[in-house]
């Protein structure tokens, strides 16, 4: 029987290859006559150059125009000319994954950025995974410690929850991600740095993450100078790595900075392939790819992926199209406020604008009551802050405002935390309850 199966496999091996030829290069796109391929297939473009000799440039099939294949390269278009041979692999992008990658920094193709060779024995995985079946997702019932008082106390996160960190530029998103990566009790961190400046990658690894954080992390970096397709694939590669370890039964922490730049990269691809611009220039494919990417995280029958996605909001506009779409998909959002940052409050989390949709289901009753009380007091103070600051409010006029004035510096002090000062979940909750009971 085995001999028959082997013979069938041998007969299935093609005895010749069909190639296509490059016929046109426009902007970011390459058009080729053939070969036979499907959307998402990876092709190899054979390039001959006097400087580099024979090379194979990888490209992905992103569309068809009349009878031509439209390709987008993973690298630059340099040295590609009319007549270059195009060979289809007839399969999508695959990467190699295994525990040996922990502590490494990879590119979007899954290769080490330091130029080292991947170890042998790694599993081969397709980056274009499917979200888990909704009926196989266990409900989220366990808390996950992230080591940040404002989150553990006021916005408690569950294992498998997905949250967005919304902020303008320079308000502390990367620093907050570094704090979470160093202090979380998750088994493994997978960090995707998408569209970052080149210098920020090393700064994040050495300053924000640190050696201890790197020992339990896998980093996928696709900097802003790389082609749009590499930035998109960086997000999918990081998600595929997190999925692999989730299926091994681990509780994985996935952090992506930022999902906005993934959307911008997809907009570049969409416009180049002829899609019409929709909301603020974003093409329809952007709003199709976001739920497909974000829904892949969460729980399944084996383990969990707790995900933090940063969203860069232009001009601090929380209702711009990408922010609005992402907020509707995720299980909560954390808003970083520039006003708080200007006051010197770090992390600059605005707890009144932030919400964890699962907090009430996973915390104790005492914890929930304490968090609600402090939120109400903070809201009362924020409503009357202008009157208080100009001296128009007289003490004794309102019992609620008097109590809020007493609590405001205590709450602010609770929400502040040095980025090198971890606080356990238990300690954060104890401080919160003690504060709510006027323990100060």
| pLDDT tens per residue, range 181-195 | 999 999 999 999 998
Q: Is the pLDDT of residue 15 over 80?
A: no
The DSSP code for 204 is: I
Q: What is the pTM of this model?
A: 0.90
Q: Which band of pLDDT confidence, cut at 50, 70 and 90, is reported for residue 53?
A: confident
Q: Which fold has domain 366-437?
A: Substrate Binding Domain Of Dnak; Chain:A; Domain 2 (1.20.1270)
Task: Describe the crossing of helices 228-246 and 259-272 by its angle, rounded to 10 degrees.
Answer: 130
Contact between 112 and 53 (Cβ < 8 Å): no
Q: Is 378 exposed, middle or buried (0-12, 13-18, 19+ CB in 10 A)?
A: buried
Q: Is the pLDDT of residue 237 over 80?
A: yes
Q: Which band of pLDDT confidence, cut at 50, 70 and 90, is reported for residue 12?
A: low
Per-residue model confidence as pLDDT tens digits over 300-318: 999 999 999 999 887 666 7
Three-state secondary-structure class, residue 222: strand
Question: What are the sequence ranges of the domains in the chain?
Answer: 19-91, 95-363, 366-437
Q: Which fold has domain 95-363?
A: Rossmann fold (3.40.50)
Q: Is the pLDDT of residue 3 over 50?
A: yes
User: In this predicted structure, what is the pLDDT of residue 331?
Assistant: 94
Contact between 180 and 420 (Cβ < 8 Å): no
Question: Cα–Cα distance between 370 and 362 in angstroms, integer?
Answer: 14
Question: Cα–Cα distance between 55 and 49 in angstroms, integer?
Answer: 8
Per-residue model confidence as pLDDT tens digits over 402-412: 998 899 999 99
Instruction: List, as one string, the DSSP characters of 15-39.
Output: SS--EEEEEEEETTEEEEE-----T
Q: Is the pLDDT of residue 18 over 80?
A: no
Question: Cα–Cα distance between 276 and 258 in angstroms, integer?
Answer: 24
CA-based nearest residue to 341, from 210, 169, 208, 152: 169
CATH architecture of 19-91: Beta Barrel (2.40)
Average pLDDT over the chain reads 89
User: In this predicted structure, what is the pLDDT of residue 344?
Assistant: 86
User: In this predicted structure, what is the pLDDT of residue 315?
Assistant: 67
Q: What is the mean pLDDT of residues 5-17?
A: 66
User: In this predicted structure, what is the pLDDT of residue 439?
Assistant: 45
Tokens of 109: 């193709």
* Higher pLDDT, residue 144 or 438: 144
Contact between 21 and 50 (Cβ < 8 Å): no
Residue 347: cis peptide before it, omega within 30 degrees of 0: yes
Q: Is the pLDDT of residue 9 over 80?
A: no
* Percent of the chain scoring above 90 in pLDDT: 58
User: In this predicted structure, what is the pLDDT of residue 440?
Assistant: 44
């Amino acid at each position: 029987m085995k001999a028959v199966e082997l013979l069938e496999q041998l007969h299935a091996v093609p005895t010749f290859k069909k190639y296509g030829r490059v016929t046109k290069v426009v902007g970011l796109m390459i058009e080729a006559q053939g070969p036979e391929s499907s959307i998402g297939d990876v092709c190899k473009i054979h390039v001959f150059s006097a400087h580099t000799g024979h090379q194979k440039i990888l490209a992905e099939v992103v569309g068809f125009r009349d009878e031509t294949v439209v390709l987008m390269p993973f690298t630059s278009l340099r040295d590609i000319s009319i007549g270059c041979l195009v060979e289809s692999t007839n399969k999508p992008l695959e990467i190699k994954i295994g525990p040996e990658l922990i502590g490494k920094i990879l590119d979007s193709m899954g290769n080490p950025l330091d130029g080292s060779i991947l170890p042998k024995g790694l599993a081969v995985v397709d980056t274009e995974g499917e979200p888990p079946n909704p009926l196989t997702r266990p409900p989220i019932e366990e808390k996950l410690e992230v080591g940040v008082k404002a989150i553990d106390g006021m916005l408690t996160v569950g294992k498998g929850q997905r949250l967005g960190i919304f902020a303008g530029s320079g308000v502390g998103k990367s620093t907050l991600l570094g704090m979470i990566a160093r202090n979380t009790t998750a088994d493994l961190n997978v960090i995707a740095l998408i569209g970052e400046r080149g210098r920020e990658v090393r700064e994040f690894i050495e300053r924000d993450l640190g050696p201890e954080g790197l020992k339990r992390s896998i980093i996928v970096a696709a900097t802003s100078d790389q082609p749009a397709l590499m930035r998109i694939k960086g997000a999918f590669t990081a998600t595929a790595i997190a999925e692999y370890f989730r299926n091994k039964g681990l509780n994985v922490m996935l952090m992506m900075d930022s999902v906005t730049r993934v959307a911008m990269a997809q907009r570049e691809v969409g416009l180049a392939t002829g899609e019409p611009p929709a909301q603020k220039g974003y093409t329809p494919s952007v709003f199709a790819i976001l739920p497909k990417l974000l829904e892949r995280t969460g729980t399944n029958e084996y383990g969990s992926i707790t995900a933090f996605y940063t969203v860069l909001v232009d001009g601090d506009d929380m209702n711009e199209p990408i922010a609005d779409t992402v907020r509707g998909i995720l299980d909560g959002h954390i808003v970083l406020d520039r006003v708080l940052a200007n006051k010197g409050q770090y992390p600059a989390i605005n707890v009144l604008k932030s919400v964890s949709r699962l907090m009430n289901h996973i915390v104790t009753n005492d914890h929930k009551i304490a968090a609600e009380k402090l939120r109400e007091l903070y809201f009362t103070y924020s409503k009357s802050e202008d009157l208080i600051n100009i001296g128009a409010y007289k003490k004794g006029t309102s019992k609620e405002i008097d109590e809020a004035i007493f609590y405001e510096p205590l709450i602010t002090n609770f929400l502040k935390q040095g980025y090198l000062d971890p606080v356990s979940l238990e300690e954060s909750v104890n401080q919160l309850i003690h504060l709510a009971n006027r323990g100060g």
